[in-house]
Structure 1
Amino acid sequence: MSAVADAMLMVPAARVRAQILSILLAWGMTPDLAETTARMMVETDLLGVDSHGISMLMTYEARYREGRLNLQARPRIVQESAATALVDAGAGLGHPVSVFAMNLAVDKAMQCGVAVVGVRNSHHFGAAGIYARIAAERGAIGMVTSATRGIAMVPTRGAVPVLGTNPLAFAAPAARNRPFVLDMATTTVAAGKVKVHHLNDRPVPAGWVMDGAGESVTDPHRAHEFVMQRPEGGLTPLGGTPEMASHKGYGLAMMVHILGGTLVGASFSPIRNRTQSETDPDGLGHFFMALNPAAFRAAGEFEADLDSAIDVLRATPPADPQKPVLVAGDPEEAARARRLQEGIPVPPALDRLIRGICDRGKVDYLLG
């Protein structure tokens, strides 16, 4: 076992939530908005998406100290019809406005059959899948996309990054089975996954990150530099190679930006980085769509058919008998069950960073 694994903290979810909440409140975030943000961040960590939970506090602290965040901002509907709405996040963190927007989309879909709610003037919202799950938990099909702040994806035939990881999530409710939940980046892997390897001092798999010459980078710290700091190199599009697969991943990323960015009037990261000052809000956009199965099928038919489809997938003979066939959402649910029992892992490097945030914010350190 490595020294990193030996020193890994396993922290109960309630304590992780309390730590996040105490930091957000110390920064001046309105209590109910902070409660929502902490809850969604902890749920992300429970699902095993370590790149988008408590490890995002360093980025949020930077935005807070740069004066970019409005931690008292409440979601405000600026345009609305029976089946659509545009919501202004007021330059707040993306978690509260995203919970609001997804629930609003479901409310409208239950009346109209389908609804879309767009969000503008937001910041990072964490993992897209946690919002798609809200729809499925309420009996609706949910789809979520978002524009991103960072520039990490190197386009097909490119040498420098242009796009972000531009996430896409989809969730659908079943009856007997857990919801089908797809949560993905449009890069081969999310930038935050490279951060996790950097924090854990663990090699990055070949094909995730390439340098300016198009060569794969596996050293976790060098890969982190290429993704987060360097003007050349970065993450490969979903599909990696060959070129056509890479091109489709790159096109998918642009589709996500069109929905989560262009449609709602959010900024495009390469343009924003050239035109905004160091204190301007990130100006991100998000897209939330909800579909009511009852608008298309008799009550329960959709869920029953999805159960049947999932059953067929689970019954597929596995190539390795020790590894059953997975359905989208299975790894996250397995992680959640395990982490509720064992705690959320916090590697030493992340623990030191959280301690620093607590020191600067004059907040009690609660993880250890």
Structure 2
Amino acid sequence: MNATHQSVRAQITAILLAWGSPPALAETTAEVMTETDLMGVDSHGISMLMGYEELLRLGQLRIAGQPRVAREFGATALVDGGDALGHPPAVLAMRMAVEKARIHGIGAVGVVNSHHFGAAGYYARMAAASGFVGMVFSSTRGISMVPPRGAEPVLGTNPIAFAAPNGEGQPMVLDMATTTVAANKVKVYHLKEKDVPPGWVVDGAGNPVTDHAEANDYVFKRQEGGLTPLGEHKGYGLALMVHILAGTMVGASFSPIRNRSQRSDEPNNIGHMMLALDPRAFRDMDAYTADMAGVVEVLRGARPANPEEPVLIPGDPEDMSRTERLETGIPIPASLERHVREIAERAGVPFVLEAVPGA
């Protein structure tokens, strides 16, 4: 099925409300999740309902928790996520970072006591849409990265996102995990019953794992093996840097330590860090925009390997996916459709996903 984005948003909202999420928080979360699916990041959109339901069942997710400002100093602040889903506190934090950057030239707002917040790129784009450079860092709940020469995972995928307005309309955007691929990307391959490429996942002896079911087990269920770091030592170092910025700095937990004493019903205390930079703090905005336009012109003007496929800049794949999916719908694999139906039934709400006519 290729579902309309309106029905995807409606389905997510209905389930969140049934779980007990306050309406404003449910709407924000559904908006972020739907936009993520529209941009082709299938690992962080509606498919996350399965994981969120499990967190709710365990009692780790306080679905009605309200984000609040816990600390504030000039250009910085700390948002407490209330142990609820991470989307609303992350949106609040980036909005605050942007407003602080308007005053101080820079805004840095951390989030503590949060959970999974979807795709980091969504929040970086928020800053760029307001004319600011945005950077996003997040710690993670899962322990999935196997260090170089290691046999067991010790770090998460710890994502980074960066977005910069370029004067062209759409910002230049980087959104990446510090592992070779995001953990939930393996889940998406498993849902599609599609084997993963070699190099994404290794077993406890460091051997590549490609079978989709086995790879999913190594990433989400086993205590050995897992995801490889991006660029080996560099990705490992990046993941540690991100944890320090988004975890240690804000008071979020370090998963390997937390897991030693965490009760099954205790929240995960994930942390995020949102940064906004105003180019006008350093130079005239027209000059910045002109230079960015020159950068984009050079990148787009590079000779393509295939004349029918123009050279892309960061952010293009997501923008192209959004344009296409607004018309053709969001792909919902049969296995995911079944899971969503079951989640909706357990929540006591109707299944409202609608296929795009003719898609």
TM-score range, shorter chain: over 0.9
- Whichever residue aligns with residue 296 of structure 1, its letter is F
How many Å apart are 1:177 and its aligned residue?
A: 4.3
Q: What per-residue deviation string (whole Å, max 9, x for no partner) do you get for residues 218-251 of structure 1?
A: 1111111110101111000002xxxxxx111100
Which residue number in structure 2 is paired with residue 272 of structure 1? 258
Measured on the aligned residues, the alpha-carbon RMSD in Å equals 0.9
Question: Any runs of at least 4 consecutive aligned residues in structure 1 with deviations exceeding 3 A, and if so which?
Answer: none
How many Å apart are 1:364 and its aligned residue?
A: 0.2
Structure 1 distance, partners of 2:195, 2:296, is: 34
How many Å apart are 1:138 and its aligned residue?
A: 0.6
- Whichever residue aligns with residue 188 of structure 1, its letter is T
Which residue number in structure 1 is paired with residue 331 of structure 2? 345
76, 80, 89: which is aligned to 1:88? 80
Matches within 5 A, 1:1-368: 9-239=1-231, 246-368=232-354
- Whichever residue aligns with residue 116 of structure 2, its letter is H
**SS state of the match for residue 43, structure 2?**
coil
Structure 2 distance, partners of 1:78, 1:367, is: 38
- Whichever residue aligns with residue 27 of structure 1, its letter is W
Q: What per-residue deviation string (whole Å, max 9, x for no partner) do you get for residues 30-85 of structure 1?
A: 00110000000000000000000000001111111212222222221111111000
- Whichever residue aligns with residue 61 of structure 1, its letter is E
Kept after mapping to 2: 8 A contact 1:177/1:310: no
Structure 1 distance, partners of 2:309, 2:195, is: 24
Kept after mapping to 2: 8 A contact 1:177/1:307: no
Structure 2 distance, partners of 1:10, 1:95, is: 25
Q: What per-residue deviation string (whole Å, max 9, x for no partner) do you get for residues 303-328 of structure 1?
A: 22111101100111122323322211
Which residue number in structure 1 is paired with residue 357 of structure 2? none
Structure 1 distance, partners of 2:308, 2:145, is: 35
- Whichever residue aligns with residue 272 of structure 2, its letter is H
**SS state of the match for residue 311, structure 1?**
helix
Identity across matched positions, percent:
59
Structure 2 distance, partners of 1:272, 1:302, is: 44
Q: What per-residue deviation string (whole Å, max 9, x for no partner) do you get for residues 242-285 of structure 1?
A: xxxx1111000100111010100000011111111000011000
How many Å apart are 1:172 and its aligned residue?
A: 0.5
What TM-score does the superposition give when structure 2 sets the normalisation length?
Answer: 0.97
**SS state of the match for residue 170, structure 1?**
strand
Structure 2 distance, partners of 1:14, 1:199, is: 23
Stretches of structure 1 that go unaligned for 5 or more consecutive residues are 1-8, 240-245
The count of aligned residue pairs is: 354
How many Å apart are 1:129 and its aligned residue?
A: 0.2
**SS state of the match for residue 274, structure 2?**
strand
Stretches of structure 2 that go unaligned for 5 or more consecutive residues are 355-359
